[in-house]
Each structure stands twice: as C-alpha cells, then as structure tokens.
C-alpha cells in the first residue's frame, strides 16, 4: 500500500489508536497500567475474576455498532411514524460507520475514547498481562504484568 493510502486507510489493528490523540491513548494505557499494578500481588481467583470481566468488556467496535443500530432504528421508526425527514438519520449513521470501517474514525470515536472505551487489542493486552501474572504461560505466578 502506498504511503498516501496508508495514511488514509490505516491498518485494522491500529486504526482507532492512530486516529486518537496521543494524550487520550496515553491516558487509556496509564489507566490499564494502574489496574495491572493493583493486581500485581493478587491471588489466582482475583486474577481469574478480572479476566472474566475483561471477557465481558465491550470494545469500541461493539459500542459503535450498538450505538449506530440504536440511532438508525430510532431514525427509521421516526421516519415512519413522525416525519419522513427522519429517514436522513440512518443515512448519516451509515456514512459514519463506513467512514469508521475505512479509516478507524467517525464523529463518536473521540467521545468514546475520552470516556475510556478501549479497542479489542487494548483489552486483550490487559488480559494477557493478567494471564502472565497468573502464571498461564509457564512462568511462575507474579511475573511481569507489563503491556
């Protein structure tokens, strides 16, 4: 992929982070490191419980999809029951979703990132660090939780 196109269409694995200001990415990473520090001396049960919580955490893609579906359905219902101009709501939402699929950015992303909504990779990094602490990879429990 040429460099101009790579800037417009970043890799899937990093597209949200690339389109998020560094200070917000760092805040999310700092919060993750602080959580991991709290689990440094935790027992296996506590680590397992946190890993289960991470398995249920919604990543930014899921939050965007649920939000887009809700707003689109609401717009469609309003277009059918109130005024047909509401039909534009699903059009805008669909455009935002397409933009997010291509670029990793759409208008709700900055708000969600500031609220601390993480990418699947960020959630998985914390999960793997906790698994290392738990000793899942042949290391003694309590190993380095660094991400």
Instruction: Output the 3-class SS for the chain.
Output: CCHHHHHHCCCCCCHHHHCCCHHHHHHHHHHHHHHHHHCCCCCHHHHHHHHHHHHHCCCHHHHHHHHHHHHHHHHHHHHHHCCHHHHHHHHHHHHHHHHHHHHCCCCHHHHHHHCCCCCHHHHHHHHHHHHHHHCCCCCCCCCCCCC
Instruction: Delimit the domains of the chain by residue range.
Output: 20-57+119-135, 59-117
pLDDT single digits (tens) 17-75: 999 999 999 999 999 999 999 999 999 999 999 999 999 999 999 999 999 999 999 99
pTM of this structure: 0.86
């Amino acid at each position: 992929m040429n460099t101009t196109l790579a800037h417009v269409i970043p890799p899937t694995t990093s597209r949200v982070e690339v389109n998020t200001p560094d200070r917000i990415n760092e805040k999310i990473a700092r919060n993750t490191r602080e959580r991991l520090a709290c689990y440094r001396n935790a027992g296996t049960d506590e680590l397992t419980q946190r890993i289960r919580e991470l398995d249920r955490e919604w990543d930014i893609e899921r939050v965007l999809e649920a939000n887009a579906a809700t707003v689109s359905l609401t717009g469609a219902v309003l277009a059918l029951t109130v005024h047909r101009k509401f039909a534009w709501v699903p059009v805008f939402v669909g455009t935002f979703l397409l933009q997010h699929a291509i670029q990793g950015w759409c208008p709700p992303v900055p708000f969600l990132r500031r609220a601390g909504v993480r990418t699947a990779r960020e959630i998985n990094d914390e999960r793997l660090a906790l698994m290392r602490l738990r000793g899942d990879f042949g290391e003694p429990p309590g190993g380095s939780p660094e991400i």
